[in-house]
Structure 1
Amino acid sequence: MGSSSEVVSTIVRKWREHPPSSYSLKVDSFKQLEKFTTSSNDNYQSRLFSSCGYNWKLIVYPKGNEKNNGKGFISMYVEIDSKSLISAPNCEVFAELFFFIYNKMENKYLTVQDVEVKRFNALKTVWGLQQVLPFDSFNNPEKGYVFEGDQCEFGVDVIVPSPLTNWEILSFNEKLPIPKFSWSLENFSQLTEEKYRSNTFSMGARKWTLLLYPKGDSRAGGKWLSLYMQLADCDKPKAGEMILAQANLRVLDPLGSNHIERKLNYWHKEENLGWGSYMFLSLDELRKSYLDKEDALNVEIEFEVVSATKYSPNL
């Protein structure tokens, strides 16, 4: 089976009512511009203008840049001032370029953009489009680009994206050095409190606790053991933060053959810190098979994955 490749154009053309915001070049006589640019390498260069903290020039070839396959077209470019590069990070600037040609008939601007962001540096100070608009279409008064005798307008928007300041790096720790935590509740049959909380323990750079209701929480009807894993109060997630914990929560069989296990796979958030089961184990079954000879209930949690997130300093 043969293979084929598709060439995808990065040039986008569309109409826009709003004028250019970086720079506009209005010409009273396009024919005169054509005539006199023959003495300046066939192009006209605007004065310096400022956009996004850097200085630029708009360069227009009225009859096209023949050296860059622009013959028969209007060619337009932007050049960064070399002094601006000195102050730029790493002496380079990334910019999006939008070129404009006003159309009086439509009362709109034809905008032409190469959607690829351009890198300006000492080796490449000029970027643009050699084929913005066919010369014949532009120079035809019936098309609307040349109007009121011989006037026309060119323009450009130079957009320099702001440096990245907001970011996060999400990772999943699957190689926990000591993945288990054990908890023994002695004299279980004599426990009188509604709930009990284990000591705080660390896992995956987070602090956790286990929460146990000996006679079940309010939903268990006094017939079930309720058991949960929770992030410790001292390590609550930030607003909007999510922490994944994948673990196996167990009530251990004293004989070691029939542990009761629930798999936990949950993203912990600020408003919901815990996960587990209010019907983890029936109290009848617990009393029958899961208390050891000293009347202790042994609980264990084994972690498989804990996520970690690093944030930019301003978050």
Structure 2
Amino acid sequence: METKTAKSMLSTTPMKGRETRPIHYTFRIESFSMLSKFSVEKCASEEFEAGGYKWSLSIYPTGNTKGEGEGHVSIYLVLMDTSSLPVDWEVKAIVNFSAYNFLDDEYVTTQDTSLRRFHALKTEWGVPKFMDLGTFNDPSKGYLIDDTCVFGAEVFVVKNTHKGDCLSMLHGPVTVSHSWKFKFSQSIEKHESESFFGGDYKWKLVLYPNGIVEGKGNSMSLFLVLDVSTLPPNTKLVVDCILRAKDQLREQHAIQKFCRKFSESASVWGSRRLVALAKVRDLKNGLLLGDSCILEAEFTILGLIKPGI
């Protein structure tokens, strides 16, 4: 019960004990009473690194009077050496402080989740009333034993990695249908159709008659390809597509459906196994008629994705 009472008196922010020491820095001070005896207003630690920046702890043994910390131990985090940062620099971080309790063998740590903002006019932030001196100086509370104490800090720098996109659905979706007839007996590894327009964008079909990757030697592979030179920068197209190899006798076509985003880095979508070669070569299936195959792409451009809020 006594320990809980002591913890409730530590700080103006909620605190909780834990066995794990602070992951970024601990600052052990021996002969702590000598600081106040020699009227040391502030004791600064060595520098330490966290989140790509250099920091230091400042301990006010009898409180930061300018920050209304009288009657308390005050603790502050200071951002060091900002000379290499741009003129309008800003560093945001979640900061938590701790004090080691020797009797409970735990670090009593603030539980602050607020984002602290460091900039040219404010290079330090802290807790003026971190621990009242009555609690801190009482050996039975466990924070100052043999005139020795340990403070700690954890600094989680939050960098701006936000990314946003905006999907604009088209009020009048663009539907495209393109048919392509080719001679199956041509011994070419790769066939490309003539380019055609779908909306404001240029497309083509690419066929591998004997397949590629897992379809190689056993299937026809067919792909719809966007000409990225016709695509505005940082734009993606949402496309709903059907690729088919036509059955020219009974209309029992081989079909592959997909809905994909076409972009500069993903300009090709389709099927490596559109239809088995054995099925194509079996004339009763109607996929091959007079050495001709007919391939079709039927697709709808549903919307555009651009960077957004």
TM-score where L is the length of structure 1: 0.56
What aligned pairs does 1:249-268 form with structure 2 within 5 A after superposition?
Answer: 249-252=243-246, 261-265=255-259
RMSD, matched Cα: 5.4
- 1:60-85 superposed Cα distances (whole Å, 9 cap, x missing partner): 3445557657566543111234xx22
Change (3 A) 1:113 1:63: farther
Note if contact 1:20-1:100 (Cα within 8 Å) is conserved in structure 2: no
Which one of 18, 32, 45 corresponds to residue 29 of structure 1? 32
SS at match of 1:111: strand
What aligned pairs does 1:221-300 form with structure 2 within 5 A after superposition?
Answer: 227-230=220-223, 246-252=240-246, 261-265=255-259, 274-278=271-275, 284-286=284-286, 291=289, 296-300=292-296
**Which residue of structure 1 lines up, in the alignment, with residue 3 of structure 2?**
none
Q: C-alpha displacement at 1:171, in angstroms?
A: 9.2
Note if contact 1:168-1:309 (Cα within 8 Å) is conserved in structure 2: no
Change (3 A) 1:259 1:69: farther
**Which residue of structure 1 lines up, in the alignment, with residue 102 of structure 2?**
104
Paired positions, count? 265
SS at match of 1:86: coil
**Which residue of structure 2 lines up, in the alignment, with residue 153 of structure 1?**
150
Which one of 283, 297, 303 corresponds to residue 301 of structure 1? 297
Note if contact 1:209-1:229 (Cα within 8 Å) is conserved in structure 2: yes
- 1:6-64 superposed Cα distances (whole Å, 9 cap, x missing partner): xxx9966442444665451404134x545665xx7xx5241663535755442234455
Change (3 A) 1:262 1:19: closer
Note if contact 1:10-1:115 (Cα within 8 Å) is conserved in structure 2: no
Which AA in structure 2 matches 1:79? V
Q: C-alpha displacement at 1:147, in angstroms?
A: 0.7
1:199 maps onto 2:197 in alignment: no
Note if contact 1:77-1:129 (Cα within 8 Å) is conserved in structure 2: yes
Structure 2: any 5+ residue segments left out of the alignment? Answer: 1-11, 226-237
**Which residue of structure 2 lines up, in the alignment, with residue 77 of structure 1?**
76
Structure 1: any 5+ residue segments left out of the alignment? Answer: 1-8, 221-225, 233-243, 311-315
**Distance in 2 separating the partners of 1:14 and 1:78:** 20
Q: Identity, % of aligned pairs? A: 27
TM-score where L is the length of structure 2: 0.57
**Which residue of structure 1 lines up, in the alignment, with residue 58 of structure 2?**
59
Change (3 A) 1:274 1:297: closer
**Distance in 1 separating the partners of 2:37 and 2:167:** 66
